[in-house]
Amino acid sequence: MPATLRHPGTVLRDHVFAVPLDHDRPDGEQIEVYAREVVAAGHEDDRLPWLLFLQGGPGSGGPRPVGRSDWLEVALRHYRVLLLDQRGTGRSTPANRQTLAARGTPEQQAAYLAHFRADAIVRDAELVRERLLGEDGCWSTLGQSFGGFCTLAYLSLAPGHLREAFVTGGLPGLRVSADEVYRAAYPRVAAKNAAHYERYAQDVGTVRRIAEHLAEHDVRLPDGSRLTVERFQFLGMLLGQGSGSHTLHYLLEDPFVRTPQGPRLSDTFLEGVRAQVSLAANPLFAALHEPIYAQRSVSGEGTRWAAQRVRGEFPAFDAARALEGDGPVLFTGEMIYPWMFDLDPALVPLREAAHLLAERGDWPDLYDTERLAANEVPVYAAVYHDDMYVDRDHSLATARAVPGVRTWITNEWEHDALRVSRGAVLERLIGMARGEV
């Protein structure tokens, strides 16, 4: 029997499933996938429809809810919810520097990690659905960010058991290369920088002073790893969140402390930076971030560190150039760079495998455009007009290409709206599905 836990207003059950590492070899190596069932207290025995939540990322475990918080308050009025820890994350068989060492050579590690993209996650979900609901059972899905990428892969691979799909900030470009993703992303990130500096004009000088200090000194974070100017720029990841600009400003508010050796970056500031730039909690985000865009029919050359290559087309992000003049130092966004595997202690052991993944050119396609063109599953998608992470135009092109996709385009929220809107975003999408909006 699954382990059961009661929280205020909810009942939670643990589920663990054995799935093939390689779904094309079902009798080969098995790994575990964990999922947490959540149902409203008093309704645990009701025949409720199921809603599978596909987490953003890649490389992040499912939510750890306490009671009926955030969007769960809305979802639990209608569904029995399943929070999936996608393979390699959370309580599923982990994939990180500590476990991947057992896989052997970098080539073997890269071959292993190649099984952790959206197509494998969808096939895991299908096995989970069959074991929980039966062979003919149907459920709905809710995909946040990368979870929306998984949703389009689901509609490509196994749409027959989907009743409906909800997507928040995650309609991917179907025939878009990694280069095109980043070529569209850098201008959006630049716009978020401009908005931040307009809101907090004092941060322009503060950021320049920090960048100058980092360029002149060997600065170490509390974990012993080096903080370079480029690594400091990675704090721009915050700018795509609803309160991210404010969080970044507070972090920058008082970065220096006086010491006998002169001004130095304070331990408080450095720990705050470490908490934002370390990928110890989700190393798959780094290792697989560009491969989630790789499809051999789109580009057979591999991603080859697309974010780093394309960055050269946008010299405004060159901090050294900014410091030579009087312009602002710009933060970067949701980009993974090869130097991260030289600096982040959680990523250094994965460096060779990550380079092999970047050079791989024979990635299977994730999206079946012919099958999607014949889609019959209703899809209700929130598209955020100013989304820093997922390109609005790519999302709308996909919505036009896939019948049954109905979009709600809004500039009221940022990419994290599902989590911070107190259920308003999901309520809107469910209302669309019920014909109420």
Share of the chain above pLDDT 70, in %: 100
Spatial CB neighbours of 290, under 8 Å, sequence gap ≥ 6? 178, 303, 305, 306, 307, 336, 357, 358
CA 125 – CA 115 distance, rounded (Å): 14
CA 172 – CA 118 distance, rounded (Å): 12
3-state secondary structure of 409: strand
Contact 178, 293 (CB under 8 A): yes
Q: Indicate if the pLDDT at residue 243 is higher than 80.
A: yes
Residue of 235, 169, 111 whose CA lies nearest to 399: 169
Q: Indicate if the pLDDT at residue 106 is higher than 60.
A: yes
- C-alpha to C-alpha distances, 125 to 3, 341, 416, nearest whole angstrom: 20, 31, 24
Burial 397-436 (b: 16+ CB within 10 A, else e): bbbebbebbebbeeeebbbbbbbebebebbbbbbebbeee
The CATH code belonging to domain 4-175+367-433 is 3.40.50.1820
Chain Cα centroid distance, residue 187:
20
**Mean pLDDT of all residues in 218-234:** 98
Q: Residue 400 has what pLDDT?
A: 98
The mean of the pLDDT values for the chain is 97
Q: Residue 3 has what pLDDT?
A: 84
Query: In which band, very low, low, confident or very high, does the pLDDT at 147 lie, cut at 50, 70 and 90?
Result: very high
Share of the chain above pLDDT 90, in %: 97
Catalytic residues: 145, 362, 415
pTM: 0.96
Spatial CB neighbours of 368, under 8 Å, sequence gap ≥ 6? 156, 157
Query: In which band, very low, low, confident or very high, does the pLDDT at 1 lie, cut at 50, 70 and 90?
Result: low
Which residues of the chain form CATH 3.40.50.1820? 4-175+367-433
CA 96 – CA 177 distance, rounded (Å): 26
A 10 A CB-CB count for 99 gives: 13
pLDDT tens sequence across 331-342? 999 999 999 999
pLDDT tens sequence across 31-81? 999 999 999 999 999 999 999 999 999 999 999 999 888 899 999 999 999
Residue of 15, 231, 251 whose CA lies nearest to 133: 15
CA 63 – CA 288 distance, rounded (Å): 20
pLDDT tens sequence across 248-274? 999 999 999 999 999 999 999 999 999
Contact 334, 237 (CB under 8 A): yes
Q: Residue 60 has what pLDDT?
A: 94
Q: Residue 92 has what pLDDT?
A: 98
- C-alpha to C-alpha distances, 74 to 33, 61, 197, nearest whole angstrom: 26, 21, 36
